[in-house]
Chains A and B, each alone.
Chain A
Amino acid sequence: MAVKKISKIQPEKFEFSKKNKETADSIIKNYPSGKQQSAVMSLLYLAQKQNDNWIPLSAMKYIAKYLDMPYIKVYEVATFYSMYNLTPVGKYFFQVCTTTPCMLRGAYNLVDVCKRKISEEENRLSEDGKTSWLEVECLGACVNAPMLQLNEDYYEDLDATKLEQIIDKISNDEVPQPGSYRGRLSSEPENTRKTLIGNKNA
């Protein structure tokens, strides 16, 4: 994971919408007065949601002024966490987990599919401009490896062909069903349960 690049195309101005401003103010109220800077992460996330899932420089400046802190401090936070996108992402944003458990279960097959079907490089929009993808670190669903996150949802127990089907559906603007793609309910054992069999409520 290299340092995130800043997008060359930057909007001139950014301002919270009225609703987000209210949310931001209520978040700031969670912290003691004078410690408003602690709200920086939540505010960056708010800005990201408001601005098509990515944070422009003007938003970082806006937040820095909003919280009365140096620009560089906001910039540091925004570049540190992988959940903040500093370049425009597609309307459908695939985050493929490639940390060890997923990697062992074939995450790089998924990456290959993304490279073939979306775009050659990470964080670059597909030809139709609707999708983009990114390799990320552990998303905390190792029992259902390999998996990826599409916008707000997890798609689990994938393989190359299943991911191809998902991407095909997406390009027709159909949102496929999230969850396990091997028919599991969350992370229950495949086939039958093998532990705690005698316990009715387990």
Chain B
Amino acid sequence: MLKLKVNDIDVEVEEGTTVLQACEQAGAEIPRFCYHEKLSIAGNCRMCLVEMEKSPKPIASCAMPAAEGMVLKTNTEKVKKARKGVMEFLLANHPLDCPVCDQGGECDLQDQSMYYGIDKSRFKENKRYVPEKYMGPLIKTQMTRCIHCTRCIRFATEVAGVPELGAIGRGENMQITTYLEKAMESELSANVIDLCPVGALTSKPYVFEARPWELKKTETIDVMDAVGSNIRVDTYGWEVKRVLPRINEEINEEWISDKTRYACDGLKNQRLDTPYVKINNKLKPSSWDEAFKAVSERISITKSEKIAGFIGDMTNMETIYAAKDFFEKTIKSENLESRYEKLYINTNVRSNYLFNSSIEGIEKSDLIILIGTNPRFEATILNSRIRKNYLKNMTEIISLGDVGDLTYPYKVISNNTDTIKNIIDNKHEISEKIKKSKYPSIIFGQSVLKLKSATYIFEEFKNYLLENDKISDDWNALNILSKNSSTVGSYDLNVLSKNSSYEILDKLENNNFEILILFGQDNLNFEKKNEFIIYIGSHGDKGASIADVILPGATYTEQDGYFTNLEGKLQKAYKASYPPGEAKEDWQIINELSSFIKRKNLYKNKNQLIDSLINYLNINNKKESDFDVPEYNFKSEKIITEKIDYYHSNVIARASKTMSECKNIRMSLPKTGTDN
């Protein structure tokens, strides 16, 4: 620990901190543009100057390591004058277009010039002009406003792992650009908009939409993937205008993926805003009563075992729980399924389907093995953590099969299941590596759980890890990478066929059901024959197109709801907006439907539902459920990592114009990486 004095206050800081951090610990605010906690230090904006005893000149606090016995001053006349001088130079070439700049109201330069700048400019020469640069469909550029902090370059090179941004020219003529003005090829690209302290890089889809002070801000959870990034949803009236990241060091740090940020315009398109009932083979708008009546009549004349329900990929846990109650109590059927593919899930203990190393924990892992997964597209934020780990520790990363550019180098080994058998039998070089490694992480993608030998792979690999003491209280090397935000939640609520067999999915394929209730499920793979399909959901997509009755529901921004992320963290998403038109919150639809069928509500109000949900989770998550591992055999086959249509992976993203644009641009670039 180092002892310093900042403005006559004594502080103790850890070795390796910078003067800026030490000043902050002492409660002194230091203005800055180029410095960012999560990026490397550049020290080129000079805004963070402070006075140090025995130094003739003010020092750049962000780039100076703190040392024992330093005496620092941050509020002297000299410091104030230095800041004013720096500010004046920064503003010399910065246009005075705040009234037409999208950053206005949340601009670091604007705020800091209010506090630290001078009131008028002495610069009488012509200001510099920089031509606009193309950086893809998400980032709007106005490079005349750039103050050359290079945060965006450092982000692209370090965090995103796509070294495509750079500064060309020099001095006053320096310009930030991508190589030959190509679109940035990263799923994290839009984070440079947040990083930009001025209005040089702003959001293209949000251009001139609203001012930050006009928006209602709701802190909530993202559902585009299973990571559960913490986000802030900004709404203007009903409309979700934009999505911004919220800092959560355990999950997303302060980045979010482009899909999380920009799929929000899909919340406005293709919405189901009124109930529909199919009359004479044509869907016609109707009232809730008519729709409920059509459903309850049909259910009352059908045998309960001929009714099945399917949970969708973005359904919150209240809805899943209400659906479960609805099936158990109202219909008295067991046919509720949350999977849409035949995945092998061992629900014996909770850690069998969680990402046990945890998102934060992956940073200290010393060996990462990817089996049938492409984390770049399945969990972008998690992938950036793996990259962070790689950059820090040069960790060895191995993948079974080549899955394309992951933004970090990895070793490719044979993607045949024989490889796994060899590892388990200690015949592979990797077995030694796993044994030697202190914190190994084995990441199973859903593509593995789909295989015919999935049971063998999972059970045997788990036993292998147990034998070698890699699953213990302080480190669990077994990781399942779920793709969807509802996956872990529905496993926690036991929404699976009994003993997680594929009974319901088999019956569905053979058209054994008469009524199907789809709770936002759009990914089912079956041929519709005579089934009567009830779709409860928010968007007119695949599910709604085959439905006989459509009950319009709400999306994740329109209802409070719990989600469990892939590492098993229960988080609550808050209501930022309300459902459009006649649409209702999902749990409400189920509750009212139940009262129509049974003349009795499932719950009096939502609090009762939540209490009973939390109660169920508390009991269920602790105990071991009775699960019989089915008989399994080894089968030699190829593990093929399923290709994901990243920009179109769910109904909201498919309804989003921005996502379609991103997809088209990505398709027009034949190769990934910097090769073009």
* Contact partners of B166 in chain A: CB under 8 A: 70, 72-73, 75-76
A73 and B167 within 8 A (CB): no
Shortest beta-carbon distance from B546 to chain A in Å: 47
A3 and B165 within 8 A (CB): no
Bound-state CA distance A70–B165 (Å) is: 10
Q: Which B-chain residue is minimally distant from A69 (CB atoms)?
A: B163
Is B604 interfacial (CB-CB < 8 Å)? no
A79 and B168 within 8 A (CB): yes
Is A4 interfacial (CB-CB < 8 Å)? yes
* Contact partners of A80 in chain B: CB under 8 A: 168-170
Bound-state CA distance A76–B168 (Å) is: 5
A4 and B169 within 8 A (CB): yes
Is A71 interfacial (CB-CB < 8 Å)? yes
A79 and B164 within 8 A (CB): no
Shortest beta-carbon distance from B173 to chain A in Å: 5
Is B302 interfacial (CB-CB < 8 Å)? no
Q: Which B-chain residue is minimally distant from A3 (CB atoms)?
A: B169
Residue in A2, A3, A70, A76 whose beta carbon sits within 8 Å of that of B674 in the complex = A70
Q: Which A-chain residue is minimally distant from B162 (CB atoms)?
A: A70
* Contact partners of B169 in chain A: CB under 8 A: 2-4, 79-80
Question: CB-defined interface of B169-187 with A at 8 Å, one 1/0 digit per residue?
Answer: 1110101001110000000
* Contact partners of A79 in chain B: CB under 8 A: 168-170
Restricting to A67-126, which residues have a CB under 8 Å from any CB of B?
A: 70-73, 75-76, 79-80
B164 and A2 within 8 A (CB): no
Residue with the highest number of chain A CB atoms closer than 10 Å, among B175, B178, B674: B674
Interface size in chain B (residues, C-beta < 8 A): 16
B163 and A76 within 8 A (CB): no
Given known contacts A76-B167, A76-B168, A79-B168, A71 and B674 CB-to-CB distance under 8 angstroms: yes
A70 and B163 within 8 A (CB): yes
A71 and B179 within 8 A (CB): yes
Bound-state CA distance A72–B173 (Å) is: 17
Given known contacts A2-B173, A3-B175, A70-B674, A75 and B168 CB-to-CB distance under 8 angstroms: yes
A72 and B164 within 8 A (CB): yes
Residue in A3, A70, A73 whose beta carbon sits within 8 Å of that of B173 in the complex = A3
* Contact partners of B163 in chain A: CB under 8 A: 70, 72-73
Q: Which B-chain residue is minimally distant from A57 (CB atoms)?
A: B180
Is A1 interfacial (CB-CB < 8 Å)? yes
Question: CB-defined interface of B132-166 with A at 8 Å, one 1/0 digit per residue?
Answer: 00000000000000000000000001000001111
Bound-state CA distance A73–B178 (Å) is: 10
Shortest beta-carbon distance from A11 to chain B in Å: 16
* Contact partners of B171 in chain A: CB under 8 A: 1
Shortest beta-carbon distance from B166 to chain A in Å: 4
Shortest beta-carbon distance from A5 to chain B in Å: 11
Bound-state CA distance A4–B175 (Å) is: 11
Bound-state CA distance A71–B164 (Å) is: 8
Bound-state CA distance A75–B177 (Å) is: 10
Q: List 12 A-B contacts (CB under 8 A).
A: A1-B173, A3-B169, A3-B173, A3-B175, A70-B166, A72-B164, A72-B178, A73-B163, A75-B166, A76-B166, A76-B167, A80-B169
Q: A3-B168, A70-B157 known; 8 other A-B pairs, CB under 8 Å?
A: A1-B173, A2-B173, A70-B163, A70-B166, A70-B179, A75-B166, A76-B167, A80-B170
Listed from nearest, the 6 A-B pairs whose CB atoms lie closest are A72-B166, A3-B169, A70-B163, A79-B168, A72-B179, A76-B166
Binding site for A on B (CB under 8 A): 157, 163-171, 173, 175, 178-180, 674
